[in-house]
Amino acid sequence: MAELIPRVIIAGLAASISPVAVMVLLSVMMRKHARRNSLLFLLGFTLVLIALGVVGIFVFRAGGSGGKSKVDGYIDLVLGVLCLAAIPLTLRRKKKQGKTETEKDLKAPRAFLLGAGSMLVNTSTIVCFLAGAHEISAAKLSVSDDLFALALLIAITLLTLLIPIAVYFAVPTKAERVLGSLNAWLSRHSKVIGAAVLLLFGAYLLAKGLKAVV
């Protein structure tokens, strides 16, 4: 477990850097019922992460992951290649035009679905999160340790969503201006941030995979 936790933290931090998901959350928080809808968005996002983590660990184990097998090295290589392959998609992503509708109401089911949908189409987070699930499967620990590691991975992945929500709940009167500035900054730099994370984490996975199989 001592060796697993740092690896889970690295994967979780890479998965957490998702400018597009944060921007969607901020657009939700700039409408009416921001408290309710931000929590529903977070719930939808989290449930997809839980499902992805459980299925990922099961599939990796079924495929022979664990016990310092060379299979784990090949999995890392595949995930590293997927990270690099996702870079062009990130750089080609079009910016959404139009102003945020701050006054328009957003129904609760819609907020939940936006959270789940933001995770389901979030290629960079999915790949990095699966890398964390693979670390857990490769460690071959007890079920309780697996659950603890998965909970830690999910919590770290959610950091960039939890922080703006916490800011809004703590200082709602000032949050709109602060979060609006953050949204504008992310809109300008989201492509570069996403590509940089994929490049660095992809290189990390490729190096780790090559070390295991050579």
Q: What is the pLDDT of residue 115?
A: 94
Q: What is the pLDDT of residue 89?
A: 82
Q: How far is CA 75 from CA 9, 168, 170, 178, 179, in A?
A: 19, 39, 42, 41, 38
Which string of b and e fits 73-109 if b means at least 16 CB within 10 Å? bbbbbbbbebbbebbeebeeeeeeeeebeeeeebeee
Nearest to 13 by CA among 200, 132, 156, 123: 156
Nearest to 114 by CA among 183, 47, 54, 190: 47
The 10s digit of each residue's pLDDT in 119-153 is 998 888 999 999 999 999 988 888 999 999 999 99
- Contacts (Cβ under 8 Å, ≥6 apart) of 113: 44
Q: pLDDT class for 158, splitting at 50, 70, 90?
A: very high
Q: Is the pLDDT of residue 17 over 70?
A: yes
- If one compares 63 and 165, the residue with the highest pLDDT of the two is 165
Please tell me the pTM assigned to this model: 0.88
User: How do the domains of the chain map onto residue ranges?
Assistant: 4-94+103-209
What is the average per-residue pLDDT within 18-47?
91
- If one compares 103 and 213, the residue with the highest pLDDT of the two is 213
Q: What is the mean pLDDT of the chain?
A: 88
Q: What percent of the chain has pLDDT over 90?
A: 55
Q: pLDDT class for 30, splitting at 50, 70, 90?
A: confident
The total number of residues written for the chain in this structure: 214
Q: What percent of the chain has pLDDT over 70?
A: 94
Q: What is the pLDDT of residue 68?
A: 72
The 10s digit of each residue's pLDDT in 185-214 is 888 888 899 899 999 999 999 999 999 888
Instruction: Provide the token pair at 129.
Output: 């999160």
What is the average per-residue pLDDT within 58-69?
82
- If one compares 98 and 143, the residue with the highest pLDDT of the two is 143
Q: What is the pLDDT of residue 98?
A: 39
Q: What is the pLDDT of residue 12?
A: 94
What is the average per-residue pLDDT within 53-80?
88
